[in-house]
Homo-oligomer: A and B are copies of this chain.
Amino acid sequence: MASVSRFINSPEKVRAETRERIRLAIQECNYRFNFVAKVFSTQRTQTIGLVIPTITNTVFADSTRGLQDEATRHGYQVLMVNADYDSAAESRLVRHLLERQVDGLVLTVSDPHGPIARELADAGTPAVFLFSTLSEGPVSSVGIDNERGGFDATTHLADLGHERIAMLAGSFATSDRSRHRYDGYCRCLSTRGLTLDPQLVVQIPYGLEYCREGVLRLMQTANPPTAIFASNDLMAIGAMGELRSLGLSVPRDVSVVGFDDVLMSSYVAPRLTTIRQPVYEMGRRAVQMVLDALGRGEQSVPRHVILNHELVVRESTASLHRA
């Protein structure tokens, strides 16, 4: 029994002869290793739990790639679940993952300042928030400065001469990233002396399918915007599709900026101007931080890292053509 365990985990510790004996026995009773029993015994799953808001936005897929690569490099698995932008689901899934004894957690949640932060800190399982901009709090984080991202995106539009700049925002309730990007949008407006027209800000649920109504609300006002800043690329692409349906041309009639720089954004027509996040690197860093905390044990203090973003100008934005 013990020798079999040794055989499996460090074959060099058992004599060649015994090794052979074991190999045969294994063949004989076509034995299959029981990972669950191992976990039960060691209390280590070699698994990192990942909670993402949705599987349909490929930013999360891209960061997952970085996460996955780094994890496998260290012999860890990734257990991914999606919460569908539902904060109740987030808590439920975190509990599920903790019950399943994941060694660490990486999560993108609607509100990293909410009760979930305490839950995580109490659980004693290393965790890091991904994508959010945090500078404090009991659980670590890695992201970009979403407020500055929003500021930069809006500034780009203002630089092009736009004055009626709308924001097509993902619902703040389900994403603090969207809220921070909105903060940056506001700051830019006030820096430029532009008025913040509440009619030019609409919040919609995440997902392409909700863009229609949002764009309609924006464009059917008395004084419609000449530029739209969308919370993410998916919504920007959705918005462009809707604008086209309304007979408007991007960027001639309306400029559009997105956020994330999803691969798709450089293939759509027109190619999307956007804020690039270093998502692959973010994913990598997140697992590094988890493994780091795992190494340190209890006495590790939360860290908050903020990576650089970058404005990528493509075809969906243009100078305001004054009528």
Enumerate chain B residues within 8 angstroms of A269, measured Cβ to Cβ.
240-241, 244, 268-270
Specify which chain B residues have a CB less than 8 angstroms from the CB of A268 in the assembled complex: 237, 241, 268-269
Closest B residue to A243 by beta carbon equals B269
Does B264 lie within 8 Å of A264, measured CB to CB? Answer: yes
Write out the residue numbers on chain B whose beta carbons fall within 8 Å of the beta carbon of A101: 34-36
**Minimum C-beta distance from A262 to chain B (A):** 9
- Residues 246-296 (chain A) with a chain B CB within 8 angstroms: 263-264, 266-271
Contacts of A263 in B (CB 8 A): 56, 208-209
When distances are taken between beta carbons in the complex, the residues of chain B under 8 Å from A266 are 241
Q: CB within 8 A of A100: which of B36, B40, B62, B208? A: B36
CB distance B237 to A267 under 8 Å?
Answer: yes
Which chain A residues (41-77) contact chain B, with CB distance < 8 Å?
45, 55-56, 58, 61-62, 64-65, 68, 77
Determine the distance from Cα of A268 to Cα of B81 in the docked complex, in whole angstroms: 28
What 0/1 pattern do residues 90 to 108 of A give for CB contact below 8 A with B? Answer: 0000001011110000000
Query: Is there a chain B Cβ closer than 8 Å to A79's Cβ?
Result: yes
A80 at interface (Cβ–Cβ under 8 A)? yes
Task: Give the oligomeric copy count.
Answer: 2
Which label, helix, strand, loop or mixed, suits the secondary structure of the A interface? Answer: helix
Nearest-neighbour CB distance to chain B for A78, whole angstroms, equals: 8
Contacts of A241 in B (CB 8 A): 266-269, 271
With an 8 A cutoff between CB atoms, is A39 at the interface? Answer: yes
In the complex, A112 has a CB within 8 A of chain B: no
Binding site for B on A (CB under 8 A): 32-37, 39-40, 45, 55-56, 58, 61-62, 64-65, 68, 77-82, 96, 98-101, 208-209, 211, 237-238, 240-241, 244, 263-264, 266-271
Other than the known A35-B101, A77-B96, A237-B267, what 8 A-B pairs have Cβ atoms closer than 8 Å? A35-B100, A37-B40, A80-B80, A208-B267, A244-B269, A268-B269, A269-B269, A269-B270
